[in-house]
Amino acid sequence: MAELLAAQLVRDVPNFPEPGIIFKDITPVLKHPQALKEVVDLMTEHARALKPDVIAGIESRGFVFGLPIAINLGLGFVPIRKLGKLPGEKISEEYALEYGTNTVEIHTDAVEPGQRVVVVDDLLATGGTARAAARLIERLGGTVAGFVFLIELTFLGGRKHLRGYDVFSLIEY
């Protein structure tokens, strides 16, 4: 397959959010209709093959891709949010980032026991966020059918924290 248009549009932002980090900025992809459609369509096709019952997106850029994937597949969408953003009864998981720690939460009624869930996010880095999302889904009795990412930073080794899961990324650095 020819190089994705999106891969040509992702830009590096040095020293964000902290000195020494090179941030992969996807906003040029989001504002380019052809590139956005291309990546959503390809991510949808991989998610479809995993036969999910529901799509989960990790805040916040996982929402950007997860929602259209859910709509394309005729499925519901479950938000996995940062600490303190969800009302109602929820469970939480703390995880390590490449530059600190954070916590994600999910509503306790978001995933039914036995449901197959595809987790969507924009970026796989160290794997901490994705692994925390998987733990939340599994604690609710769901099955993680797989992960779908726009970008994977292979040099950070995040895939090793997701062993045993189907992991798909469109663009690798």
Catalytic residues: 61, 98
What is the rounded CA–CA span in Å between residue 74 and residue 93?
Answer: 28
Q: Which of 57, 53, 60 is nearest to 76 (CA)?
A: 53
State the alpha helices, DSSP H only, in 13-55.
27-30, 33-49
What is the rounded CA–CA span in Å between residue 22 and residue 167?
Answer: 23
Exposed / middle / buried, residue 58 (Cβ in 10 Å: 0-12, 13-18, 19+): buried
**Residue 135: CB atoms within 10 Å:** 17
Q: Is the dihedral of CA 81, 139, 153, 47 positive or negative?
A: negative
